[in-house]
Structure 1
């Protein structure tokens, strides 16, 4: 037990030391305005390169990914019908679809699916 504790302490202190040294060496000492500005063929930028990102688009994309993953979870249900009883399969599928529909209703009710210009 003592050997394991010593190994843990040595590993912890060694990794902490490496992280501290790396963070000290990686710091930029001189911040240059030209180096931190976006590069546009040697010319001064016409406008800000850091345009605001549409939060509505991001929210729609995340909702799409969530429902897409849930659809991929629905696909194996048709193959599991052969190896399970019909009643258990029907209950599980119905509960899963109710949860999906409840999530869709919640997002719709919150106004997350309405695209505003």
Structure 2
């Protein structure tokens, strides 16, 4: 199924472009599209975090968030819960001023992260 979908995808989706600021609203249904669209959308958000906060801070936050993350929410809210985990870790480890930068990255992509 994945091969069928990727064979029919236009060239703009064959390579991720982390300079794009695509919205989470652009995610299409299905696992193959979740990997294609989601990879670019999440990847560009994390890349923007690196640009704003620096490589060391961002990589540490993402690693720690993935390591600690346990989702107890429905699958549609998992992304927002993960971003909340990043914000909580940042507040506890470094600079609360990053909160506005981190939440802004995801707000611009229309991911509502408040509970």
Larger relative CO (CA 8 A, sep 6+): 1 or 2? 2
**Do the two structures share a fold, i.e. TM-score over 0.5?**
no
TM-score, normalised relative to structure 2? 0.23
